[in-house]
């Protein structure tokens, strides 16, 4: 990779947020962090990231509301959902509709790297449907 691409990481859990930022940096990406959904939305609309990695449960604005809002104004920005909780089928379905990928914490680093690389490819904005907490099936 010749130039770092800006990735926005939104997670209210500091160790998760900083750990993802460190991983992305090691993989050659530039990353910024947001402590909640409202902070992430501000970064997204002012900086237009190449990718958003977000937790679902955050204060001020949850991850689904963040994805809905970003998708409405920046539909070309893919997102990866990383969550530590078991979600109901309705939440998984909506996250799958709005996000490029869906992973459970603790994150499988190999899977995350593959999703990040795929999401950063030109024209990668596609929808995925998580079939369970850790499995990702692309349509």
List CB contacts of 123: < 8 A, sequence separation 6 or more: none
Q: Do 16 and 71 share a domain, yes or no?
A: yes
Written as six digits, the tokens of 63 are: 């991850």
Please give the Cα distance from 39 to 132 (Å, whole number). Answer: 29
Region at 60 (left for phi over 0; alpha for psi -120 to 50; beta for the rest) = left
For 7-49, write each residue's pLDDT tens digit.
999 999 999 999 999 999 999 999 999 999 999 999 999 999 9
Exposed/middle/buried for residue 6 (C-beta within 10 Å: 0-12, 13-18, 19+):
middle
Q: Do 66 and 125 share a domain, yes or no?
A: no
Evaluate whether residue 95 is within a structural domain.
Answer: no
Evaluate whether residue 83 is within a structural domain.
Answer: no
Q: Do 65 and 19 share a domain, yes or no?
A: yes
Peptide bond into 106 cis (omega under 30): yes
For 48-100, write each residue's pLDDT tens digit.
999 999 999 999 999 999 999 999 999 999 999 998 766 656 666 667 778 89
Q: Do 66 and 6 share a domain, yes or no?
A: yes
The count of structural domains within the chain is 2
pTM: 0.82
Range of the domain at 41: 1-49+61-76
CATH (domain of 68): 3.40.50.2300
């Amino acid at each position: 990779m010749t130039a770092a691409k800006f990735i926005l990481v939104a997670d209210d859990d500091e160790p998760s947020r900083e750990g993802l930022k460190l991983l992305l940096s090691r993989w050659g990406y530039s990353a910024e962090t947001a402590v909640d959904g409202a902070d992430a939305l501000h970064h997204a609309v002012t900086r237009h990231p190449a990718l958003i990695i977000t937790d679902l449960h955050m204060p001020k604005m949850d991850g689904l509301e963040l994805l809905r809002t970003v998708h409405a104004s920046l539909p070309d920005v893919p997102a990866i959902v990383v969550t530590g909780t078991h979600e109901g089928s309705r939440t998984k379905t909506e996250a799958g509709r709005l996000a490029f990928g869906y992973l459970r914490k603790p994150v499988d680093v190999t899977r995350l790297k593959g999703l990040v690389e795929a999401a950063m490819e030109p024209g990668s904005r596609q929808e995925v449907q998580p079939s369970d907490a850790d499995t990702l099936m692309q349509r």
